[in-house]
Chain A
């Protein structure tokens, strides 16, 4: 972790900034049928189908096949030479929660306290964020937004990216509970003046506190279960779906020791966990595989964490996961930079991942982790019509060009602040 990361959030910005709404008008629900003709269809679930048609009825993919007949009144899109993908899904973002990183007034991602499971990301989601259309136009259609910080940070929500407000955008609330696993290693940054011994003590203490906290939460859940008159504590009430194994705990763990401890913790408390980060996953392949722990790998361009690590340790981790038949989702933590997601998938291909797995890691795998694999993440009949059409391969800067997007049957305006400013100053 760099100094920069650690100090984020300690900044006190005094600039008050009034946000203006972005100019893109959310799409209207399509009533008609749409036929996409002659595309290279990246189905995810059934491989790549060339010269294939996809028929969309209202908001559903109704038919996939070659030379489909065109229903009357259908809008025809000639996709010859173009690539059709399911809309990309970005996990563990702060889109709509943070507008300008350095301006405190525009930050709504981090609540105060070490355990704030009661907070829900979607209620602060700014559907008018200027950032959203810039991310969307790169092919990202759904995001999980989640509170950040230390300890138990709060509940994540799934949003679709073309909405008038958060209620319109909300797809699924309480889809995840995020938690940062306590530090396990020794920090060797120059500014860390605690001795290694002290650091170890502090690490152990934090873990002990976490264990104690969970015992408390379990006791609360037990009390509530046996006597519904037990007074409600909004914090621990929010944890009950975790204790009951209904909602997964998204544990942010990067170091090998964190990963091992987090997985053991999940087993011990019989709760569902998802590992977020998983930088050192390559060291814990057997454990991850045997416990079938879902992985959200967030370091597609990760820098080597240790002095002795090879330059490409992070680059090659997705391919190692694939080789070991461990499914994983690929994600980029952040907001504006989430638009790099397709290129992150491309980067993993450069270092050994198959193209099929790379695509899966930004579509069907995230859908599965969010429990939305029945609707999203692949191009299949009866699935939701959330699709993107690109001139070429979306993974590579040389060919990436998203020309058309549909989210749940609504056509999305792909314009954004950047294109508008570009346009304006092209006229200077």
Chain B
């Protein structure tokens, strides 16, 4: 009952409060005024305050004058104007109001509109001249949807925020944001910048449209869309050039995107690796892009600095990993522990490296935690100046309102925060002014009632001690005679100290409101039977009021202060800075087995090895190899060691060229298939290379030094491939095998006709091998036509050109054209004889060649035709029977193709087999009698030829890259192990070093676990360690979990975005048919 009354009371108060503000807030500029015009003067002078007029500029004993929602003056020790209301802010600090540059505020954020089990949706919803893709809605101006929401605003204001930049955080191009004041009022008065930054992300959000279904798809869509926007600028209002020859369409989204150059873009890439991807994506357009950080920027710092972007830092640092038991520790990785330890230091690292950043409340589960988290960044070494800049000037600049807010200068908005001391240490927000309106959380000088008082009831002498924390008061009553009788010299404090707990009577229902204090207490222990109620008000040093006796009698009473409480000052500048000492290491990548530094290139003399050259020379026994500057310089017997060379005695060991995998899906982020459209030649695996994938290191431990990362097999023409060298520790760009010519994945058969995708997937063309033939032919016809359109345009006269739109660059067709021009090489996933023959026919009809048939399990049936066409083959050693189209697969496939003159390799298509391609090759020895020399070629020089990198790698030959493996014995024997793996004269794997590293990693992990166990909140981990938040972005950010690297397969075709956006993700929508 009491609580009900209480809530009604607070509701009424809220309404009253709101009405009062509304009265002031409603402007009369363009609105009609009903009733009496408000002309209350609102000039206020804050005196005796410590005022930060901007980061690093503190004026002590300053006077701030505001009027009409603006700052009039800030001056040291200035007298308050005579017409101003004066507020004494002694002991308080004033900061410019904080600005959050990235908020969903009233608009909400990404949530999937997709339900698993629904049929795919290939077309977008068209209205209002929008873009073809539902994830692009750049034409929305979010200011037109804006109305303030005081409840949500309060979660910001309480932390000192006065303005924020906001949009609905949904989709790829999300529209143009709006910067608003958090004050209460009509939107017209609150909008600070209606033309703020555009917002964007890689996540298609609520769009149900299939395309894009992967990160690389999103990147391709952005690339095409930005190019289209440029084209649209030229083309608008003209006739399009051939072949369409139509009027150029009206496109509101493209029109809006042409503002990007002036407005800039606020981009949420989801993680710092993707930030680097976004940065290269936007580079050609010279846009001003700011990125939402994931606080792992410290782990790839040079690259991050290179972006020259401003970062927006959430402060949702990882919760402490659960290491409370051995069992729970099993789920906690070293990477998670390291990141838990260092994440709060990310801001300090950025400051030290002069990377500009702002803070945001985005991503915080509980906004009330904001300051606790920000203080951690200070404890980890961030300067208060940079922290304040991250809350004021930096976000003001991002939001395009730096002339209005972010500092306290005459003429700027009266948006500021009053705290009772240094907010970066112990100070708390007491009051926030928004456009001159106060939102008060605690009175500036609250009545202080703490102390010890003397009172008398029924001639009994009683003492009352009151303690006060903010507006919360508690206290105790006890008899005072006892102490007086025992020791007269004792002061009142000791009185209480000498008492047993039983003698203390706690006050109940204590309420302090203004200077009114009320409470009740059961005084029976004092010999006064019953519960007594007190209603007091404070004046000067004493309380007076009435006491209500149990029998309703009332008496006046007065309480005299005999001992004031000690006052503690919060205005301390000493930061709670313990020197931060990280136990965790920082490696590249920052996880177990990461490199402390890049391996050194050495000059090397390998002595007395059995060398499998993969060349005509064959297998050479007792042979030496010299290596310098990353190249093999000499092969011979008993060579002398040049000075400065390291020597490896390889007696009894075997050396082969580094193993090369024609078909791999390791080191790929967020989707291996853009399995939406049937033709997706525009997507690029090269955009989503993941240098942090542990599978790189594990593949090195199996002797693999290079791999072609292929798009999956979900569509007839899939994405562009990326050849990498496994330079573990390098960044994504450095992993790329630069000399490898461009290539692309095609696919045929069951996967592309969606045979095993489930019953919903029956509407995409093609559903048969007949359709696969025609859709591929159609794609090439269109690409040919596309190329011709450029010639046609060039041939137009100048006046004709003026009226004609230039041809639109189409990245999909560009890739197809490169294939026909023999600049991009096709690796075609294929199984059965008919489709293999047919694809060769198509290629020949369009004047190109299939470089490699990959998988090609029925290659043995058409080996002579393949040889004639000039196609090579990369197959599984012995896989079969996992789906119908591989029922005729045989392990003798390799031998039969090779006998017919086809270049043959074996590939992995898995994170497992890439670790042991040597024994995969050896299977051809026991299944079809291949020679060992030919078998080793199947994983070295043959795949090198297929990837057209045989000039550089794939055999042990003078002049080639020093990419090689040292084996404990015959490399094809099941009994042999890899001992060392080298790339370009750098040692990336060493079996002994690996052992040592494991001991170090184990020590480091145990130290981190000790640190976690002994840290303050160790006990609360179990409860708070995991977030229940289901918003996709939030849950991703909030968990302490770092998601595992996914090992993709060809057929891992599903919509990545639908998966991570969906709240109840299961595996049901996933198809699986085999490779």
Q: Which residues of A contact B (CB under 8 A)?
A: 2-4, 6-8, 10-15, 17, 99-103, 130-131, 184-186, 188-193, 195-198, 255-257, 301, 303-304, 306-308, 310-312, 335-336, 339, 343, 346-347, 349-351, 395-401, 417-419, 421-422, 425-426, 428
Residues of B within 8 A of A12 (CB): 758-759
Residues of A within 8 A of B998 (CB): 310
Question: What are 17 A-B residue pairs whose CB atoms fall within 8 Å in the complex?
Answer: A13-B756, A13-B1073, A17-B884, A190-B1044, A190-B1046, A190-B1056, A192-B1065, A196-B1040, A257-B330, A306-B333, A307-B334, A308-B1001, A350-B976, A422-B860, A422-B892, A425-B863, A428-B864
Given the known inter-chain contacts A3-B1067, A257-B330, A422-B896, please indicate yes or no for A346 contacting B974, CB distance below 8 A: yes
B881, A308: Cβ atoms closer than 8 Å: no
A196 contacts which of B919, B926, B1041 (Cβ < 8 Å)? B1041
Residues of B within 8 A of A188 (CB): 331, 1041-1044
Distance of A17 Cα from B755 Cα, bound (Å): 14
Given the known inter-chain contacts A335-B881, A336-B880, please indicate yes or no for A6 contacting B915, CB distance below 8 A: no
Distance of A2 Cα from B1044 Cα, bound (Å): 11
Residues of A within 8 A of B694 (CB): 304, 307
Given the known inter-chain contacts A10-B1067, A103-B884, A190-B1059, please indicate yes or no for A306 contacting B972, CB distance below 8 A: no
Distance of A94 Cα from B155 Cα, bound (Å): 59
A3, B884: Cβ atoms closer than 8 Å: no
Residues of B within 8 A of A192 (CB): 1065
Residues of A within 8 A of B840 (CB): none
Add 14 more A-B contacts to A11-B1073, A307-B334 (CB < 8 A). Answer: A4-B1072, A7-B1071, A100-B884, A102-B1074, A185-B330, A189-B1043, A196-B1025, A256-B330, A304-B698, A307-B335, A307-B592, A397-B972, A398-B972, A428-B864
Residues of A within 8 A of B1030 (CB): 193
Given the known inter-chain contacts A306-B333, A422-B860, please indicate yes or no for A196 contacting B1039, CB distance below 8 A: yes
A303, B1028: Cβ atoms closer than 8 Å: no
Nearest-neighbour CB distance to chain A for B1031, whole angstroms, equals 11
| B153 interface contact, C-beta 8 A | no
Distance of A301 Cα from B896 Cα, bound (Å): 28
Nearest-neighbour CB distance to chain A for B1046, whole angstroms, equals 6
Nearest-neighbour CB distance to chain B for A255, whole angstroms, equals 7
| B1062 interface contact, C-beta 8 A | yes
B925, A397: Cβ atoms closer than 8 Å: yes
B1001, A11: Cβ atoms closer than 8 Å: no
Distance of A426 Cα from B750 Cα, bound (Å): 27
Q: Which residues of B contact A (CB under 8 A)?
A: 322, 327, 330-331, 333-335, 591-592, 670, 694, 697-698, 701-702, 750, 755-756, 758-759, 860-861, 863-864, 878-884, 887-888, 890-892, 896, 911-912, 915-916, 919, 922-923, 925-928, 932, 970, 972-977, 994, 998, 1001, 1005, 1025-1028, 1030, 1035, 1039-1044, 1046-1047, 1049, 1052, 1056, 1059-1060, 1062-1065, 1067-1068, 1070-1074
Residues of B within 8 A of A102 (CB): 750, 755-756, 882-884, 1072-1074
A7, B994: Cβ atoms closer than 8 Å: no
**Total CB contacts across the A-B interface at under 8 A:** 211
A185, B911: Cβ atoms closer than 8 Å: no
Nearest-neighbour CB distance to chain A for B265, whole angstroms, equals 26
Q: Which of B334, B970, B974, B1043 has the most CB of A within 10 A?
A: B974
Distance of A191 Cα from B670 Cα, bound (Å): 11
B592 contacts which of A184, A308, A346 (Cβ < 8 Å)? A308
B331, A186: Cβ atoms closer than 8 Å: yes
Distance of A7 Cα from B994 Cα, bound (Å): 34
Residue on A with the closest CB to B882? A101
Q: Which of B864, B879, B888, B973 has the most CB of A within 10 A?
A: B973
Residues of B within 8 A of A4 (CB): 1049, 1052, 1072
Nearest-neighbour CB distance to chain B for A87, whole angstroms, equals 18
Q: Which of A7, A99, A401 has the most CB of B within 10 A?
A: A7
Distance of A3 Cα from B335 Cα, bound (Å): 22
Residues of B within 8 A of A421 (CB): 860, 888, 890, 892
Residues of B within 8 A of A397 (CB): 919, 922-923, 925-926, 972-974
Residues of A within 8 A of B1073 (CB): 11, 13, 102
Q: Which of A2, A186, A308, A336 has the most CB of B within 10 A?
A: A308
A422, B1072: Cβ atoms closer than 8 Å: no
Residues of A within 8 A of B887 (CB): 100, 130
Q: Which of B880, B1046, B1064 has the most CB of A within 10 A?
A: B880
A195, B1028: Cβ atoms closer than 8 Å: yes
A197, B697: Cβ atoms closer than 8 Å: no
Distance of A103 Cα from B1028 Cα, bound (Å): 39
Given the known inter-chain contacts A307-B592, A422-B896, please indicate yes or no for A350 contacting B974, CB distance below 8 A: yes
Residues of A within 8 A of B861 (CB): 425, 428
Nearest-neighbour CB distance to chain A for B1049, whole angstroms, equals 6
Distance of A418 Cα from B924 Cα, bound (Å): 13
Given the known inter-chain contacts A193-B1065, A307-B694, A343-B919, please indicate yes or no for A395 contacting B974, CB distance below 8 A: yes
Residue on A with the closest CB to B591? A307
Q: Which of A131, A189, A311, A312 has the most CB of B within 10 A?
A: A311
Given the known inter-chain contacts A308-B334, A421-B888, please indicate yes or no for A195 contacting B1039, CB distance below 8 A: yes
Residue on B with the closest CB to A255? B330
Nearest-neighbour CB distance to chain B for A259, whole angstroms, equals 11
Distance of A372 Cα from B756 Cα, bound (Å): 41
Residues of B within 8 A of A190 (CB): 670, 1043-1044, 1046, 1056, 1059-1060
B881 contacts which of A11, A100, A311, A396 (Cβ < 8 Å)? A100
Nearest-neighbour CB distance to chain A for B977, whole angstroms, equals 6
Residue on A with the closest CB to B877? A397
Residue on A with the closest CB to B1032? A193
B330, A396: Cβ atoms closer than 8 Å: no
Residues of B within 8 A of A396 (CB): 973-975
Distance of A3 Cα from B1069 Cα, bound (Å): 12
B883, A101: Cβ atoms closer than 8 Å: yes
Distance of A189 Cα from B1067 Cα, bound (Å): 11
A311, B888: Cβ atoms closer than 8 Å: no
Residues of A within 8 A of B591 (CB): 307
Distance of A188 Cα from B333 Cα, bound (Å): 11
Residue on A with the closest CB to B922? A397
Q: Which of A4, A304, A417 has the most CB of B within 10 A?
A: A4
The 9 closest A-B pairs by CB, nearest first: A102-B883, A346-B974, A397-B922, A307-B333, A193-B1065, A422-B892, A101-B882, A186-B331, A418-B890
Residues of A within 8 A of B1025 (CB): 196-197
B756 contacts which of A11, A130, A312, A351 (Cβ < 8 Å)? A11
Distance of A196 Cα from B1067 Cα, bound (Å): 18
B974 contacts which of A14, A131, A191, A347 (Cβ < 8 Å)? A347
Residue on A with the closest CB to B1002? A308
Residues of B within 8 A of A422 (CB): 860, 890, 892, 896, 928
Nearest-neighbour CB distance to chain B for A199, whole angstroms, equals 9
B926, A398: Cβ atoms closer than 8 Å: yes
B884, A400: Cβ atoms closer than 8 Å: no
